């Protein structure tokens, strides 16, 4: 692939990510994407056979971005420090305005009932993988008695993910910035529960 093709392809992906994160998958059209990029419909179809195809690729890209965050965690840190680190990175990226992944995946997820099977399957796969990353850290923390065990590991995982989603959604709706206090709040709750 030539540099121009890669650039055009990436411009299409970037435009779709922005449109899907602001308007939702269902509301954004191929015409919206091609207008944002400044290409013809034929050029769009040269790179992607459908809006569904670009959406599934975007979900794969988002998972790779999150995977890079989890893989970048210091290997020698205890699991509680890893948990704090990953939450901090995600909140910082979300607040930067440069990273639309949090907002995008939530926006697509809220339209799950409208999605076609390949996208729904990709989305379900992403959430299973994402939640499992936190579950693994929670279990490691429990094994080392770094957090409480009053609630099950699954309940603690649900607590962490729910607080993160709520925080991201609040930023999206009210344009407020999260700070490190949310990390301390999550850890405090995990220690109690």
Give me the pLDDT at residue 67, please: 97
Helix axes 181-192, 153-174, angle to 10 degrees: 160
Residue 175 has pLDDT above 70, yes or no: no
Distance CA(91)–CA(185), nearest Å, equals: 14
- Looking at residues 140-162, what average pLDDT do you find? 95
pLDDT at 181 over 80: no
Distance CA 11, CA 48 (A): 12
According to CATH, the superfamily of the domain at 51-192 is Tetracycline Repressor, domain 2 (1.10.357.10)
Over residues 56-105, the pLDDT tens digits come to 999 999 999 999 999 999 999 999 999 999 999 998 888 877 788 888 88
pLDDT of residue 192: 83
Residue 141: pLDDT over 70: yes
Euclidean distance between CA atoms 63 and 154, whole angstroms: 21
What are the domain boundaries of the chain?
A: 51-192
Q: How far is CA 124 from CA 8, 56, 81, 115, 166, in A?
A: 29, 11, 28, 11, 19
Average pLDDT over residues 16-34: 93
**b/e 55-64 (16+ beta carbons within 10 angstroms → b):** bbbbbeebbe
d(CA 94, CA 96): 6
Q: What is the pTM of this model?
A: 0.86
């Amino acid at each position: 692939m030539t540099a121009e093709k890669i650039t055009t392809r990436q411009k299409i992906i970037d435009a779709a990510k922005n449109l899907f994160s602001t308007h939702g998958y269902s509301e954004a059209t191929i015409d919206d994407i091609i207008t944002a990029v400044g290409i013809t419909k034929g050029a769009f179809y040269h790179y992607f056979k459908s809006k569904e195809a670009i959406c599934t690729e975007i979900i794969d890209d988002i998972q790779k971005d999150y995977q890079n965050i989890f893989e970048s965690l210091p290997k020698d840190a205890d699991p509680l420090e890893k948990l704090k680190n990953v939450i901090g990175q995600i909140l910082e990226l979300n607040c930067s305005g440069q990273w639309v992944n949090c907002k995008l995946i939530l926006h697509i997820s809220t339209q799950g009932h409208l999605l076609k099977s390949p996208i729904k399957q990709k989305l379900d796969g992403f959430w299973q993988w994402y939640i499992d990353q936190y579950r693994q850290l929670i279990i490691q923390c429990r094994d080392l008695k770094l957090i409480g065990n009053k609630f099950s590991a699954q309940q603690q995982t649900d607590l962490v993910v729910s607080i993160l989603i709520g925080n991201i959604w609040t930023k999206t709706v009210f344009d407020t910035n999260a700070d490190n206090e949310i990390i301390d709040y999550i850890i405090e709750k995990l220690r109690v529960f």
